[in-house]
Structure formats: structure tokens, C-alpha cells
Amino acid sequence: MMVHNSSHSHPLCCSTPYMRSPRYTYVDRDYAYSEAERREIQWHRDHYLHYLRHSQALRLWNRRERAL
């Protein structure tokens, strides 16, 4: 849910469910992912998603072939 806080010019990413006040979202830079690590994580996600879609398409193709 996007909430616009009038005291700031940018929308906040999250708010609490009951009070609708902005959440505290501090990220400690010592423990945050580096840009290279984020790219690697995204590559793995994309690769796995491609694998799942390919596997599903192959299963559907095999199922259609058996039905004929």
C-alpha cells in the first residue's frame, strides 16, 4: 500500500495496518547486499523462473503428444 505523507515530497513504501503511520525502514549498510550481489540474486531468480516455465511447457507438450 502506498501512502503519501504530506510532510515529505515522496511516497512512503509501507505503513502500519492500523495507524497508517510510516514504518521505520533503516538498512544497515554493513549488512546490506552490494550491487553485484543483488545482480547475482536477480540472475538466479530469472534463471530459476526460466527453468520452471520451460519445464511446464515441456510437460504440457508431452501431455498433448500423449493425448493424440
> pLDDT value at position 11?
53
Higher-confidence residue of 31 and 4: namely 31
Other C-beta atoms lying within 10 Å of the C-beta of residue 15: 15
Q: Is the dihedral of CA 29, 34, 35, 39 positive or negative?
A: negative
**pLDDT tens, position by position, 15-50:** 777 877 787 788 899 999 999 999 999 999 999 999
> pLDDT value at position 15?
74
Cα–Cα distance, 3 to 26 (Å, whole number):
18
In the chain, the amino acid numbered 47 is H
pLDDT at position 14 over 70: yes
Domains of the chain: which residue ranges?
3-67
pTM, to two decimals: 0.57
Cα–Cα distance, 63 to 67 (Å, whole number):
6
